[in-house]
Structure 1
Amino acid sequence: MARNGFFTGLDIGTSSIKVLVAEYVNGEMNVIGVSNVPSAGVKDGIIVDIETAATAIKTAIEQAEEKSGVTIDKVNVGLPANLLQIEPTQGMIPVPSESKEIKDEDVDSVVKSALTKSITPEREVISLVPEEFIVDGFQGIRDPRGMMGIRLEMRGLIYTGPSTILHNLRKTVERAGIKVENIIISPLALTRSVLNEGEREFGATVIDMGGGQTTVASMRAQELQYTNTYSEGGEYVTKDISKVLKTSSQIAEALKFNFGTANLSEASNSETVQVEVVGSEQPIEITERYLSEIISARIRHILDRVKQDLERGRLLDLPGGIVIVGGGAIMPGVVETAQDIFGTNVKLHVPNQVGIRNPMFANVISLVEYVGTMTEVDVIAQSAVSGEELLRRKPIDIAPKPQRIVTPRVEAAPSAPVQTVPVFEEERPAQTNRTAHQEPAAQREPRQKLGDRVRGIFGSMFD
């Protein structure tokens, strides 16, 4: 059951940083603001320059605030699959209360007992996902609260990552002036968001073709079975075009999106395009077919590597096939090329949110969806992982609070054996502001219609 309130997702990619603000009302997610700015200080999905990356994140946050009318004070950050490990875990506690009724505190305690599993010093627990609870031997319980019992057990999966990467991620976001609410494992959120119920149960693979890297994640039996990253993405296609044609990156990018296709059979031998090259006053003329050959070579190289690893893990024949998302998947011919290489059903996922029906936003949307649809038990488990104390016996839904009057903000100029995942100031009336995750949507001043506002976002985003 979805929680009501405001949630903000932050997707730190190699080529771009995206921020999305959404409000959940009665289980429906309404996107109210989004930003997309060029990335900096990030390589292969990993932060390599904290100050530079923090500046880019701050820019993205400010743009999202301006477009949504919401002050962002905390975000849910996506963590890439680099060096991710998945391990089964379990915990057990006696129910201490005299009534023997299981409460929030008991769920918190049994999760913490499962966290005592030995973890190497250089790694850190990112998330613990409960699979089932067992009360006095009765298995398959999703939420044991309110039940009576003497012994409470829990079985779940622990996701761990390198402490260095996690520290740098938190440090960078905090340096941008924002608090990290949750660190979300991007492949886990993406598979849950993109795949339907049947695909998650019987098995399917999601390929996220980003700018600097490609991420692959397979889910089966509602669990993340496999994930891997490849340090190649859409930017490498641009670099290939630039290198082969001896032209600038800007021209290469324009050629890729305006005339390029990854499917050779769609390219024309007769249609030509003029290209300005370095060291020559006269442009050269190339055919669409020649451009397609450059593009296709890189796309096929990436997908061939993915195919080899999926075959090795016996994941290529999953009934749900393959779903492709990401900015690199927008280019014509990618789906057809993937279908030819994998020999299975391949489809392109396009988000259905108004105004952001673009595969490049699938990742940041999945972060907000993941947090917005967390159950109360999931929230307790995540709080135990992060070490935060819960407000006991209080509902998870965000309750309306009185609005505060502030001066306008001045804008600045199945459990399996251990799985090791491979990696790669004028006087004027005071205005009312909303604060993300804090203030209700009611009682605010009338605003522009959602559809008109979101359309306005994209009128300026891609200028």
Structure 2
Amino acid sequence: MARNGFFTGLDIGTSSIKVLVAEFAAGEMNVIGVSNVPSTGVRDGIIVDIEAAAEAIKTAVEQAEEKAGMTIDKINVGLPANLLQIEPTQGMIPVPSDSKEIRDEDVETVIKSALTKNVSPEREVISLVPEEFIVDGFQGIRDPRGMMGIRLEMRGLVYTGPSTILHNLRKTVERAGINVENVIISPLSMTKSVLNEGEREFGATVIDMGGGQTSVASMREQELQFTNTYPEGGEYVTKDISKVLKTSLQIAEALKFNFGQANLAEASMTETVEVDVVGSDVPIEITERYLAEIISARVKHILEHVKQDLERARLLELPGGIVLIGGGAIMPGIVEVAQEIFGTSVKLHVPNQVGIRNPMFANVIGLVEYVGRMTEVDVISQRAVAGEELLRRKPIDVDSRNPVAPAFNEPEIPADPVRNSQPLQKPVQPEEPAKPKQKMSERVRGIFGSMFD
């Protein structure tokens, strides 16, 4: 059940940074503020320039504050799947109270007992998700508080990531003047938000087609099975158009959104558009079909790479099929091309929140939903992990004179090979391309107007 209150999310993408403010009341999420600004200091979803990224984040936060009519002092940040590792863990403690009734402190202690494995200096625990508690041998308990018992056990999953990425992420957000409340694993929040209960149980894959990269996450039996990122996205389509047609990136971007079609079968061979080219005062004329050939080549190249990994992980036959999100998934024909390549059901996920009915906002919506719907046990778990981190995490920043204090929820503990089909290797954040320029033509796709309320 959702918690009541205000929650914020920060999605740091390669091409854009998004901030969302939502209020949870009576189990419902109501968006009250959202911003979307161009990203700087970020490459392939990873922060490479702390100062530049901090300025972009500060701008996005200020815009969200203005729209929401409130001050944001803490925020939940999405973490890409770069080198993410997942491993099972368990802990066990005797129930110490005289009444043998299990309390909040006991739950926190048993979770801490599961965080006793050594972790390599370059890694840090991000989160621990309890799967079940066992009281005196009775399994399958979701919340043991209030029960009586002598022995309390916990089985769950520990998520760890590179300390460098986590440290830079926290430092950048704090440099923007905001405290990090929780670091949320983007593939986890994305799948839980986008997929329905049946898809999460029986299995489905979410593909986030961002501007600078494409992220993939598969879930089955309510657990992440695979996650990876590919350093190609919508910006690469724009660059291909620019290079082939010898035109500017701005014109290439407008061509992509106003006339772009990924499915060759739907592209017209007679409809034409004039394009200004570099080195000539006379524009050239191209057909919609020719433009579609350029776009389709890159889209198929990206999706073929994803297909190879899903086949190796034996996840291509999941009953839930493929769900597409991200700004790159808006282009007409993407769903049909994906169906052809994957040979399974494919659908486009469009958020239903008023004002942001666009697939490019799916990731930041997922971050806020994940935090807003955390159970009391989840909150205790994050508190336990944060407490252990404060005691044991060693910042790897070379500037030891001013180490960054971790925010409310940043862990640090075990890390080993994952039971995922493949280790995660890249960030998972959606990015959105620039808006189309209407001066290119009056034929701007009607879909974009309907998706933005």
TM-score calculated relative to the size of structure 2: 0.87
In the alignment, the residues of structure 2 paired with residue 256 and residue 87 of structure 1 have an alpha-carbon distance, to the nearest angstrom, of 42
Query: What's 1:352 paired with?
Result: 352
| TM-superposition CA deviations, 1:118-142 (whole Å, max 9, x none) | 2211100001000000011100000
- Say whether the 8 Å CA contact 2:205–2:322 is kept in structure 1: yes
In the alignment, the residues of structure 1 paired with residue 88 and residue 207 of structure 2 have an alpha-carbon distance, to the nearest angstrom, of 25
Q: Which residue identity does 1:286 align to in structure 2?
A: I
In the alignment, the residues of structure 2 paired with residue 28 and residue 310 of structure 1 have an alpha-carbon distance, to the nearest angstrom, of 34
Secondary structure of 1:301's counterpart equals: helix
Query: What's 2:431 paired with?
Result: none
Query: What's 2:210 paired with?
Result: 210
Query: What's 2:308 paired with?
Result: 308
In the alignment, the residues of structure 2 paired with residue 335 and residue 72 of structure 1 have an alpha-carbon distance, to the nearest angstrom, of 37
Secondary structure of 1:127's counterpart equals: strand
In the alignment, the residues of structure 2 paired with residue 115 and residue 212 of structure 1 have an alpha-carbon distance, to the nearest angstrom, of 35
| TM-superposition CA deviations, 1:133-166 (whole Å, max 9, x none) | 0011100000000001111100000010000000
In the alignment, the residues of structure 1 paired with residue 169 and residue 293 of structure 2 have an alpha-carbon distance, to the nearest angstrom, of 38
| TM-superposition CA deviations, 1:249-305 (whole Å, max 9, x none) | 110000000001100011111111000111111111111011000000000000000
In the alignment, the residues of structure 2 paired with residue 421 and residue 294 of structure 1 have an alpha-carbon distance, to the nearest angstrom, of 32
| TM-superposition CA deviations, 1:429-462 (whole Å, max 9, x none) | xxxxxxxxxxxxxxxxxxxxxxxxxxxxx99xx9
Secondary structure of 1:305's counterpart equals: helix
In the alignment, the residues of structure 2 paired with residue 282 and residue 113 of structure 1 have an alpha-carbon distance, to the nearest angstrom, of 72
Q: Which residue identity does 1:423 align to in structure 2?
A: Q
Secondary structure of 2:366's counterpart equals: helix
In the alignment, the residues of structure 2 paired with residue 298 and residue 117 of structure 1 have an alpha-carbon distance, to the nearest angstrom, of 44
Query: What's 2:245 paired with?
Result: 245
Runs ≥4 in structure 1, deviation > 3 angstroms? 416-420
In the alignment, the residues of structure 2 paired with residue 178 and residue 297 of structure 1 have an alpha-carbon distance, to the nearest angstrom, of 42
| TM-superposition CA deviations, 1:341-386 (whole Å, max 9, x none) | 0000000000011111100000000000000000000000011111
- State the Cα distance separating 1:418 from its structure 2 match: 3.6
Asked if residue 324 in structure 1 is aligned to residue 337 in structure 2, the reply is: no
In the alignment, the residues of structure 1 paired with residue 120 and residue 224 of structure 2 have an alpha-carbon distance, to the nearest angstrom, of 22
Q: Which residue identity does 1:91 align to in structure 2?
A: G
Query: What's 2:386 paired with?
Result: 386
Secondary structure of 2:188's counterpart equals: helix
Asked if residue 235 in structure 1 is aligned to residue 232 in structure 2, the reply is: no
| TM-superposition CA deviations, 1:82-139 (whole Å, max 9, x none) | 1111110001111111111100000100111111122211100001000000011100
Q: Which residue identity does 2:40 align to in structure 1?
A: A
Aligned residue among 420, 423, 430 for 1:421:
423
| TM-superposition CA deviations, 1:179-224 (whole Å, max 9, x none) | 0000000010000000000000000000000000100000000111
In the alignment, the residues of structure 1 paired with residue 262 and residue 293 of structure 2 have an alpha-carbon distance, to the nearest angstrom, of 8
In the alignment, the residues of structure 1 paired with residue 424 and residue 362 of structure 2 have an alpha-carbon distance, to the nearest angstrom, of 23
Secondary structure of 1:29's counterpart equals: strand
Secondary structure of 1:152's counterpart equals: strand
In the alignment, the residues of structure 2 paired with residue 331 and residue 386 of structure 1 have an alpha-carbon distance, to the nearest angstrom, of 41
In the alignment, the residues of structure 2 paired with residue 111 and residue 321 of structure 1 have an alpha-carbon distance, to the nearest angstrom, of 34
In the alignment, the residues of structure 2 paired with residue 121 and residue 272 of structure 1 have an alpha-carbon distance, to the nearest angstrom, of 58
Secondary structure of 1:70's counterpart equals: coil
- State the Cα distance separating 1:310 from its structure 2 match: 0.3
Matches within 5 A, 1:108-257: 108-257=108-257
- State the Cα distance separating 1:417 from its structure 2 match: 7.0
In the alignment, the residues of structure 2 paired with residue 103 and residue 31 of structure 1 have an alpha-carbon distance, to the nearest angstrom, of 35
Query: What's 2:282 paired with?
Result: 282
Q: Which residue identity does 1:239 align to in structure 2?
A: K
Secondary structure of 2:54's counterpart equals: helix
In the alignment, the residues of structure 1 paired with residue 115 and residue 299 of structure 2 have an alpha-carbon distance, to the nearest angstrom, of 41
Query: What's 2:32 paired with?
Result: 32
In the alignment, the residues of structure 2 paired with residue 211 and residue 388 of structure 1 have an alpha-carbon distance, to the nearest angstrom, of 36
- State the Cα distance separating 1:231 from its structure 2 match: 0.5
In the alignment, the residues of structure 1 paired with residue 278 and residue 163 of structure 2 have an alpha-carbon distance, to the nearest angstrom, of 45
Matches within 5 A, 1:362-381: 362-381=362-381
Secondary structure of 2:127's counterpart equals: strand
TM-score calculated relative to the size of structure 1: 0.85
In the alignment, the residues of structure 2 paired with residue 248 and residue 58 of structure 1 have an alpha-carbon distance, to the nearest angstrom, of 30
- Say whether the 8 Å CA contact 2:112–2:388 is kept in structure 1: no
Matches within 5 A, 1:24-63: 24-63=24-63
Q: Which residue identity does 2:209 align to in structure 1?
A: M
Q: Which residue identity does 1:265 align to in structure 2?
A: A
- Say whether the 8 Å CA contact 2:193–2:369 is kept in structure 1: yes
In the alignment, the residues of structure 1 paired with residue 370 and residue 79 of structure 2 have an alpha-carbon distance, to the nearest angstrom, of 13
Q: Which residue identity does 1:304 align to in structure 2?
A: E
Which protein has greater RCO, CA pairs closer than 8 Å, 6+ apart?
A: 2
In the alignment, the residues of structure 2 paired with residue 242 and residue 317 of structure 1 have an alpha-carbon distance, to the nearest angstrom, of 37
Secondary structure of 2:61's counterpart equals: helix
In the alignment, the residues of structure 2 paired with residue 188 and residue 336 of structure 1 have an alpha-carbon distance, to the nearest angstrom, of 26
Secondary structure of 1:387's counterpart equals: helix
Query: What's 2:265 paired with?
Result: 265
In the alignment, the residues of structure 2 paired with residue 417 and residue 328 of structure 1 have an alpha-carbon distance, to the nearest angstrom, of 29
Secondary structure of 2:116's counterpart equals: coil
In the alignment, the residues of structure 2 paired with residue 359 and residue 418 of structure 1 have an alpha-carbon distance, to the nearest angstrom, of 30
* RMSD of Structure 2 on Structure 1 (CA): 1.6
In the alignment, the residues of structure 2 paired with residue 48 and residue 417 of structure 1 have an alpha-carbon distance, to the nearest angstrom, of 26
Q: Which residue identity does 2:271 align to in structure 1?
A: E
| TM-superposition CA deviations, 1:284-338 (whole Å, max 9, x none) | 1111011000000000000000000000000000000000000000111100000
- Say whether the 8 Å CA contact 2:225–2:419 is kept in structure 1: no
- Say whether the 8 Å CA contact 2:204–2:318 is kept in structure 1: yes
In the alignment, the residues of structure 1 paired with residue 197 and residue 68 of structure 2 have an alpha-carbon distance, to the nearest angstrom, of 31
Structure 2 regions of 5+ residues with no counterpart?
Answer: 390-416, 427-447
Structure 1 regions of 5+ residues with no counterpart?
Answer: 390-415, 425-457
In the alignment, the residues of structure 2 paired with residue 212 and residue 102 of structure 1 have an alpha-carbon distance, to the nearest angstrom, of 48
Instruction: Count residues with an aligned counterpart.
Output: 402
Query: What's 2:443 paired with?
Result: none
In the alignment, the residues of structure 1 paired with residue 269 and residue 2 of structure 2 have an alpha-carbon distance, to the nearest angstrom, of 52
